[in-house]
Amino acid sequence: MSFEINGKPFSQMPRAGQCLRTFLRELGHFGVKKGCDAGDCGACTVLLDGEPVHSCLIPAFRADGRAITTIEGLGGDDGAHPMQQAFLDAQGFQCGFCTAGMIVTCASLNQAQRTDLGAALKGNICRCTGYRSIEDALLGTSNVDETTEPGAAFGRSLPAPAGPDVVRGTARYTFDTAINGLLHIKLLRSPHAHAKIVAIDTSAALAVPGVHAVLTHEDTPPVLFSTARHERDWMDPDDTRVLDDTVRFIGQKVAAVVAESEAAAEEACRRLKVTYDILPALIDPEQAVVPGAPIIHPDRTAANRVANARRNIVAERHAEFGDVAAALATSAVTYEGTFTTQRVQHAALETHGGLAWVDAAGVLNIRSSTQVPFLTRRTLSDILGLPADKVRVFCERVGGGFGGKQEMFVEDILALAALKTGHPVKLELTREEQFIATSTRHPMRIHIKAGADADGKLTALQLDVLSNTGAYGNHAGPVLFHAVAESLGVYNCPNKKVDAIAVYTNTVPAGAFRGYGLPQSLIAVEAAIDELARQLGISPYDMRRRNIVKPGDPMLSPPPSEYHDVLYGSYGLDQCLDLVERALQADAPNPALSPEWLIGEGIALTMIDTVPPAGHIADATIALNDDGGFDLTVGTAEFGNGTSTVHRQIAATVLATTVDGIRLRQSDTAHGGHDTGAYGSAGVFVAGNATHAAAMQLAAELKAAAASAWLCDVASCVIEDGSVVSGVRRMPFTELARLARERGRPLAANGSSGGTPRSVAFNVQGFRVAVNKCTGELRILRSVQAADAGRVANPMQCRGQVEGGVAQALGAALYEEMVIDGDGRVTNAKFRDYHLPSFADVPRTEVLFADTSDTIGPMGAKSMSESPYNPVAAALGNAIADATGIRFTSTPFKPDRLFPALHEKFGS
C-alpha cells in the first residue's frame, strides 16, 4: 500500500481493520487526536486528497494511492499555514486538544461555507473556548498584545507560550510519544450494579497470545482510599480499592489485562470468566435512605469518614441560624419549591489515561492526564508502600479537565501493571469508559423555602438538599458543603437553615466538576430571590442589591464554618449587577420575532471562595540563567486554564523583563517542591502567589548581588530592562549570572503559598431569551456576564475562561444529560447521544469586568476559572420564567420538557 503523508511518499501496510487515525499516530503524526473514535468530535480531522475527514471513521487501507495532510504538514515547507497563524493571532484555543482538527477543518472551508459556520463546523467540538475566539480566527481578528515593554507583562493580553506548538500540532499531550516495548492495558468492567465477585477464572485469558498478566482484586493491596485528590485526606471517605471483590456500579473495573496489543488485551477480557453473587441495587437516591434499604458499603464506619453507612449517607450537614419557621410565618411574602439537576459529564476531549514504567534508577514513572500530580504521587506511595522519591508523577499538556481529572482513576492500575510486568504500560480510556466509569457532576434535589418583608429584605432562607454521589464518595462531602455555603452566604438574612445529605447509590460515581456544587443549588436560591421580587413588585436587580453581602458583612451559612480565613480581598458584586443591568437595558428586545415568541430577561449572581479550605499548597522556584533569562518551576498543571501564561507574566513583571525571558517548567513531581493541584480556582491565586514570592525574593537577591559588587547601598538599586541599575551604573543580568557562577553561588529563590487567607470572586449572568409558546424552542437573544476577577492578569485569557464557562454551563442547562436506566446502566455513553454544545449552539457572551484589585491575590488578581459556570443555569431559568410566567424547576430546559407546561397554559 502506497500513499502520501504531508507531501512525502510512504509504503506500509496497516493492520487488518485498522482505522486511519491509529495508523497515522503509529507513524508519529501525534497531531491527529483521539477524542471519540466515533466521528463525533473532529479531533482527528485530516485532509484526504484535500477534503476534511474524521480519520477515526476511515479504514486505513482506503488511503491507498491518496494524499493525506495532517496538521503537522498543513503549512507545507513554507512554515505556518495562514489558518494556523490566524488561530495563533486570535488565540483560538485553550487546552488545545481539539485545535489541530479544528484548524484542518477551518483551512478547508470555502467562502460559501464561511457564511454558515454553524453548519460548517458542526463536526468539530471544542469543550473549552465557547467558540468566540475560533470565530475570531476565521474572521482574521487578532486578540493578542504582541509586544510589551520589559516589566509590563501583567494585565496585558499576551499569548500562551505553547501557542505555536498547539496550532502546528506539535504540542505534546499524554500519549504523544513513542515508547519501545510498550504493553497495553484493557479493563474488564462489571455488567452488574451491585454484586460480590465469587471467583475469576483467568486461565483462558492468560492463554491468549501476547498476554503478559491479568490483575484481579487478589493482586491489589487491601488499602482503602478515595479517588478524590485533596491536600487533606479527611475531606473524602476511604471507601475504594484499586480492584475490589465487590462491584457497586455497572462499569466498575473488575480485572486488568496487560498484553502486547490492545486487541490481545480486549480478547483476553472477553475470555475472563467471572462468577458473581448478585446483590440488591439502589438506583434512586430517595430510596437509598429509606429504613431497611440495602446497604452499599456495610463495612464503612466513621473511621473511614462515612457519616452513616447503615443509611447509605456518606456526608451530611444540619444546622440553623435564628428561627426559620417563625420568620416564614411572619413574612410578607414566601416562596417554596423543589428543584432537580441532572447528571452531567465533563467531556474533556482527552480521556483519562497514562503511561507507566520503572526506570533504571528503580523509580516508578507515571505520565498521565491529571490535574493533581503531586497528590497522586502521595496516594500511590501510600497504596504501594513505596518511598515518595521512588514515585514520579507528571503530566504534559492536558486535554481538558474541568475537575474530572482531580481524581485518580487510572494511575493505580498503571502502577501495578508496570511493577508486575517490568514493562512500560499504557492505559487509555475509551469515550464510553469515560462516561460509564469515571465521574460526573452530582445530581441533586434541592428544596427551598424563602421569605421577605414588605421592603424586600430577606427574612428566611432554608435549603434541604439530597445529593447523589453514586457508588463511591469521592468529593461527596466537599461538594455538598460548598453547595450550601456560598449560595446562602452571599445574602444577608437573619434566619437560615440547612439540611443536606449526600447518599450512595449503585450508579456511576459523581465527583469534582467545575463550580463544585454551586451550579446545582443556585438554580433554587436564585429562583427564590426572583419569585420573592415578583410578588413584591421589585426588580430582580434591586431585590439583590437590598440583600447581598457587602464588605464588612459576615458571609454566613449554617453550620458555621470552622475556617475563618475568607476575606473580601476585593468587592465588585455591586459593580457586576450594575454592568449587567446597563448592558441588558442598552438594546430592546428583538422586534422581528413573530407573536408566538415570548421574550424575557433573567439574572443570577454567585460568590465563590477562591481556594478550598484547610490549606492549598504551592511551591515555586526561579533561577537566573547565564543568558540573562530565568527558569521558573511550578507544580501546577496547564489544561487550558491559562496558568502557564500568567505565571510568566507575574515573574516577568517583577523581574522587569519580558515573558520571553521566562522559561517555564511545571507539573512534574521530579522538579521538587509541592503543589496541591490545579483545582479549586487555585492555579493563579495560590500558585501565582508562590511565583510572585519567588520572583520578589530573586529580585532582592539580584539587587543585593549588584550592590555587593559595587559596594553601594542596596536601597539605591532598582531592576529595569534586564539589568540592575544604581544611579548611572547598570549591571546586566548576564553579568550578574557570570559573577554568581564564579562565586559558586547561583542566583535562585523559592516561593511558597499556603492558600490562606482566601478571597472571594463574584459573577453576575444575564440573559434575554425568546421562548416559542407553541413548540418549547428557546433562543438566547443576549448573554452578558460581569465578573469581579480582581486585577485581570490577562484580559484575553480571562474573557476566554468566562466564555468557555458560560458555553459549558449552557450545555448543562439546555440539553446535556447522562441517562441512567432502572438497572443503573448509562444508556447514552457516546457524544452522538449526549448533546455537547457545538458552534451553532453557543451565543456570543459579552464579558464585562468589575474594576477592582484584590489585596490577597498575586498582583491584585484572583480566580476566574470555575465561577463563570455557576450562575448560568439559574439566570436562564429566571429568564424563561420571566418570558413564560412558568417556573420550570428541573434541568435541562429541553423543549420537550418546556412544551407540556406551555401547552397547558397557552394551548395549541
pLDDT one-digit tens code per residue, 596-630: 999 999 999 999 998 889 889 999 999 999 999 99
pLDDT at 581: 98
> Per-residue pLDDT tens for 297-311?
999 999 999 999 999
Ordered DSSP codes for 881-896: HHHHS----BSS--HH
- Secondary structure of 13-75 in the HEC alphabet? CCCCCCEHHHHHHHCCCCCCCCCCCCCCCCCCEEEECCEEEEHHHCEHHHHCCCEEECHHHCC
pLDDT score at 588:
66
Is 666 exposed, middle or buried (CB count within 10 Å of its CB: 0-12, 13-18, 19+)? buried
In the predicted model, residues of the chain with pLDDT beneath 50 are: none
Query: The C-alpha cell of 167 is what?
Result: 496550532
pLDDT at residue 681, rounded to an integer: 81
**Which of 840, 738, 861 lies closest to 798 in space, CA to CA?**
861
Residue 429 contacts residue 253 (beta carbons within 8 Å)? no
- Give 841-857 pLDDT, tens digit per residue: 999 999 999 999 999 99
Rounded to whole angstroms, how far apart are CA atoms 857 and 789? 10
Cell 432502572 -> residue: 822
Yes or no: say if 570 and 853 are a contact pair by the CB < 8 Å rule: yes
Which segments of 592-694 are extended strands (E)? Answer: 597-609, 618-624, 630-634, 662-666
Q: How much is the pLDDT for 678?
A: 92
**pLDDT of the residue at 680:** 85
CA-closest candidate to residue 504, choices 289, 666, 187: 289
**What is the sign, positive or negative, of the torsion defined by CA atoms of 511, 647, 670, 128?**
positive
pLDDT (0 to 100) of residue 589:
61
> How buried is residue 409: exposed, middle or buried, by Cβ count under 10 Å (0-12/13-18/19+)?
buried
Q: What are phi and psi for residue 549, nearest 5 degrees?
A: -65, 150
Q: Are 801 and 864 in contact (CB under 8 A)?
A: yes
Q: What is the pLDDT of residue 142?
A: 97
Interior angle at CA 51, CA 50 and CA 56, nearest 5: 120
For residue 562, give the DSSP letter: S
SS3 359: coil
Between CA 230 and CA 244 the distance in angstroms is 22
